[in-house]
Structure 1
């Protein structure tokens, strides 16, 4: 079942210039791909997906407006959060647990806040400032799992509206998740 969800009411996206990373003023420093997290025995459960490092390709100040996503398997809940990581930190690709306790350990270094309209990105992609701004998807699932097929980040730069298309599939494994591009991305265990 194909489902769409969004964090804010959308503006007319047909008026926006849509692009992928490095194809416009905002980049997530990622290409197309798939990441999955295997389901634990205890349900419901949470997984965090990241490595979407937001930066300005031109040095223009960018104002974030809205995150939208398309799901193939609807999880219980999807939260979009922003992480301001200090120098020396590493991005998170995918891990079991919320950002405060990934894989049952300590949380991610840095400040983590719920995504809000108006967030400013002014760090240049070509300048290593040490720290970074990371967009995270926190997905709560049950035995069926969840599958975010792609996401879009609407923003404004230089007075113009744009949409950054994130072609990265994020999967919380479960009984309803199907193979992607002919490959089974999940090791399906007996789920209670």
Structure 2
């Protein structure tokens, strides 16, 4: 398989918890040596690119922040290009930074869209009701991901999927998914390196490499 570029998942490929994956740093240096461009993609909807880059740096990786693609950052580009810049953001304050720094305004009224990510403790019934009313007024629903849960150190935690499903049911609409594994997410990553899907490999686990052909 001739590879012109690589998309590298962060969780499980570069690190597991607070431990770097053995050999991952060496693999990145080999890509640099061969001149093969890559981007690191993260499924997190709770952290900004800056926070992800800082964490990787602490683990020994020297990956520039612009080379990291997160769902909030990718969603911001899509929303801005489609003219939906006024958004109600059901996200963590950290993830909100990726949206606001890329031209998205956080609003409580007159929203073009409601954006849902892993909001954690920032998600309250009051915020959900406010978002629901905006949807009933015509705002679109954007999901940064629809996972059911994710694993924390002390056990499973609800992810954004159940929240999105509840809002979809209440408002009678279907969310547009922009984060992984939607094609739009990977298209944003590929645009950053000028690569085509059939020339790009995706490293999504320590033992698998697949061609990004479905984008």
Q: TM-score, normalised by structure 1?
A: 0.25
Q: Which has the larger radius of gyration?
A: 2
Name the structure where strand makes up a greater proportion of residues: 1
Instruction: Give the structure with the higher percent helix.
Output: 2
User: What TM-score results when the alignment is normalised by the length of structure 2?
Assistant: 0.23
